[in-house]
Amino acid sequence: MKAKSSRLFFIDVIRAWAILMMLQGHFIDGLLDVSYRDPNNLIYKIWLYFRGITAPVFFTVSGFIFTYLLIRVEKVRIKNPRVEKGVKRGLQLLFIGYLLRSNLFGLLKGEVYNTFFLVDVLHCIGLSLLGIIAIYLLTQRVKKLWFALILIVITTVLFMFEPLYSSFSYTGIPQPLANYFTREHGSIFTIIPWFGYASFGAFMATLFHKFKDAKHLYMAAIIGSLVIGIGLIFYSSPLFMLLSNMTGVSLFKAIYFNNYLFIRLGDVLIAFALFMVLRNLITHKTVLKIGQNTLSIYVIHFVILYGSLTGMGLYRYYHHTLSPEVAISGAIGFMIASTFLALQYDKYSTVIQLNIGTLKRFLIVKLDFLFLHIVRLGRSYFFKLRLMILKLFRLAKN
């Protein structure tokens, strides 16, 4: 029982780290003056590299925790309650993703801006969860090994063929749908190749679940993650160039010149190894709470920074205007404010939901009363109008 709990705690700590990295990354990237973005500056270069790790870690962790909870339930296929919860969660993330991209003032004017259809993290994670569920359901009638194999094959295929499908124009499909596959119109993330990280996290979850009772699980996982991670970071590019020279296949050379997917996967594995090492040291309940409330933190940070729904966020007023000192201190304050508000919401969420439920019931009662009143009023006016018409044609007595 303890092993299970610690395993989930270790994942929550990674999620907490990833969301905090995302908050400071979005803040500094959006508000730091362009004159300070010097790629030759060592500090900026280090920050930029670590900022690039955030999204791969976030996608991988999302796939891991969802799949681990999915497969540890004894019931299989559609009887597994995690399937229904996962479908609801995936659709919820898609809905919230579009909601955060909407603008109330535009909607009041009857306009839907093009930015509404852009695809971001929540859209891709929502679709990734639905994709993992689909693979889970399709492989439940065969050996469980197939579920893990298909997941790792999807990661490999998506990462290997990225140079090919990234050049597609997707002009033959509607733009709202094309935004899931190309960044040409302004999407931040696309389902391919980013589903590859979620499927890899799901694959890791199958390994953790299979060997959950192994005595040296964490030791093996740490060593394996370090070895494979270092190999991907430092040796995957030379390997692809070697394969290109040996086979003459241009795809391997294209991967070599833009090998960010495999290198970032190596970064993810190093991050996993690091937090597995620290799993017994970072156990503060606040850190774990942050990891368990990443969605609330993401929504709050989106509203404050980008002005979701209203268009009046920090991004609008301070876009690329802050000095490094102000940007760094502001990012710290921004992380504290976003997490504090999210944790306060989590603390009082039950009361808030009860109040919302009470308000909904109150409104329903009032609307029912209003509807009955309108029906009665309408019926009264109908009879009066009918009597007036009859009198007009002298078919009724005075």
What pLDDT, on the 0 to 100 scale, is given for residue 6? 41
Report the distance separating Cα 314 and Cα 312, nearest Å: 7
Q: Omega before 193 cis (within 30°)?
A: yes
Residue 371 lies in a domain: no
Question: Considering the entire predicted model, what is its pTM?
Answer: 0.85
Residue 2: is its pLDDT beyond 60? no
Which band of pLDDT confidence, cut at 50, 70 and 90, is reported for residue 354?
low
- Total domain count, the chain: 1
Which band of pLDDT confidence, cut at 50, 70 and 90, is reported for residue 4?
very low
Residue 42 lies in a domain: yes
Residue 264 lies in a domain: yes
Report the distance separating Cα 16 and Cα 39, nearest Å: 28
Mean pLDDT (the chain) is 88
Q: Are 26 and 32 in contact (CB under 8 A)?
A: no
Range with the poorest average pLDDT among 87-101, 137-151, 328-342: 137-151
Residue 379 lies in a domain: no
Structure tokens at 306: 């980008």
Residue 242, CA atoms < 13 Å, CB-side half-sphere: 5
How large is the angle between the packed helices 324-347 and 349-392, nearest 10 degrees? 70
Residue 370 lies in a domain: no
What pLDDT, on the 0 to 100 scale, is given for residue 367? 64
Residue 122 lies in a domain: yes
For residue range 81-131, list pLDDT tens digits in order: 999 999 999 999 999 999 998 887 777 777 777 888 999 999 999 999 999
Which band of pLDDT confidence, cut at 50, 70 and 90, is reported for residue 356?
low
- Dihedral (CA of 255, 259, 263, 268) sign: negative
Residue 7: is its pLDDT beyond 60? no
Alpha-carbon radius of gyration of the chain:
27
What pLDDT, on the 0 to 100 scale, is given for residue 396? 45
**What is the span of the domain harbouring residue 252?**
2-364
Residue 283 lies in a domain: yes
For residue range 27-53, list pLDDT tens digits in order: 999 999 999 999 889 999 999 999 999
What pLDDT, on the 0 to 100 scale, is given for residue 394? 57
Residue 148 lies in a domain: yes
Per-residue burial over 229-258, b = 16 or more CB atoms within 10 Å of its CB, e = otherwise: beebbeebbebbbebbeeeeeebbebbbee
Map residue 75 onto helix, strand or coil: coil
- Among residues 136, 42, 35, the alpha carbon closest in space to that of 82 is found at 136
